[in-house]
Structure 1
Amino acid sequence: MKKASILMILGPLFLVGLYVFPLWTIMLGAPQYPDPLGIHIHIDGIRDVNEFDIQNIDGLNHYIGMKTLPKPEDMWEFSTFPIIIGVMVFLGSLIGLLALIGKLKYPWFLGWFLIMSVLGVLGMYDFNAWMVDYGTNLDPNAIMKLANPDGTPMTYKPPLFGHTKMLNFDVTSLPATGAWFMFTGMMLTVVAFFLGRKHQRSKRLFT
């Protein structure tokens, strides 16, 4: 149970990487931009991939009526997500520590993983809802008003995951370093659960 408990302590600590590295990255490439424009989405705000990328993206979006990219104070998520991650890091490591001294059993490991998974799904849903609003709620007085072949107004929602073509831009949306830190940490807690269960079963066989 000792190895499982240590993994349960370490796994949630990987989520600390979310305070340093971006969770998601969206890149926009086009012939007129040899160096693609991009944004890093952190849990506490949106930042440039390269200097002036946000300024350039906002300038392009102005012509088609899209809102400017939000600042941290514009979205409650950017103040709430760091708190939620901090709470989950504390709880997960506390569960591992209590298991190490024999106060908790291995099923708690899976409980933490499931809660974190639900929070992750809710976060992705919220992120996608923001992109839907960002790409479809356009200024009716925009300089350029483009329509689909069927006459409906064109929308500019970036993909949640993967690649799409918008006008002459190739838009790619993928998990960034912070997301891989989170994924690794969560997988360590799953390994901890199975190690704990294996230890418990072995213990029963020899008692």
Structure 2
Amino acid sequence: MKKAGLIMILGSLLLLGLFKFPLWNIMLGAPQYPDPLGMNIYISGIEGVEEFDIQNIDGVNHYIGMQKIPKADEMWEFEVFPMVIGGMAALGVIIGLLGFFGKISPNWFLGWFVLMAVLGILGMYDFNAWLTEYGTNLDPNAIMKMTNPDGTPMTYKPPLFGHEKMLNFEVDSYPHTGGYMLFAGMALTLLAFVVGRTERKKNKRLFT
């Protein structure tokens, strides 16, 4: 399974891109901001797309009672996520090497993929929970108190994925470079499983 092992190693190494590139990006555009405000979400913290974006977003949010964007040391996720990604990348490389030397079956590649998918789903669930808390737990003493047509307090949860209009802001939330590298890496590990099974069947036919 040499080819499958190499694909598995490559797919696992792509996860390391998350240590350099953002996982996700949220952009906020409005008439008063010709250049949209944005924040890049890394596995180790949140940074503004431009130098003062976080400061400006916090300033806008203050008026409607939203919390400040948390610093890296204020969320446990930014300590745990790098360890999870680093551990899964290392595990994937080890599995790939064992597959390259024919020590394990292709099912190990699939097992890694399933584990990574579960961790990814849990991560997205946690991210969505944070967005919900961020957009609904508002300061009751905020300067502006916006309400829905039925009189209930308006919430400002950014979309987990896609586009949404919030007051006069157009909000876009999509994966960034690191996120695409993660998806590509996972796709390669699934391909490694398929290639590994094909290689194994071919080898069985040669020796029977």
Query: Which category of TM-score, normalised to the shorter sequence, fits these structures?
Result: over 0.9
- TM-score, with normalisation over the residues of structure 1? 0.99
**Cα offsets for 1:76-108 (capped at 9, x unmatched):** 000000000000000000000011122111110
Matching residue's letter, 1:121: I
**Cα offsets for 1:130-155 (capped at 9, x unmatched):** 00000000000001111000000000
Q: Structure 2: how far apart are the matches of 1:104 and 1:85?
A: 23
Q: Structure 1: how far apart are the matches of 2:143 and 2:183?
A: 42
Match of 1:35 in 2: 35
Q: Quote the offset at 1:205 in angstroms.
A: 2.3
Match of 2:115 in 1: 115
RMSD: 0.6
**Cα offsets for 1:142-181 (capped at 9, x unmatched):** 0111100000000000000000000000000000000000
3-state SS of 1:190 partner = helix
Structure 2 unaligned regions, length at least 5:
none
- TM-score, with normalisation over the residues of structure 2? 0.98
Match of 2:76 in 1: 76
Q: Structure 2: how far apart are the matches of 1:103 and 1:198?
A: 16
Aligned structure 1 segments of 4 or more residues deviating by more than 4 angstroms? none
Q: Quote the offset at 1:204 in angstroms.
A: 2.3
Q: Structure 2: how far apart are the matches of 1:199 and 1:101?
A: 13
Q: Structure 2: how far apart are the matches of 1:159 and 1:91?
A: 33
Structure 1 unaligned regions, length at least 5:
none
Matching residue's letter, 2:171: V
Q: Structure 2: how far apart are the matches of 1:9 and 1:147?
A: 52
Match of 2:201 in 1: 201
Q: Structure 2: how far apart are the matches of 1:204 and 1:80?
A: 43
Q: Does 1:138 align with 2:138?
A: yes
Among all aligned residue pairs of Structure 1 and Structure 2, give the percentage whose two residues are the same amino acid. Answer: 65
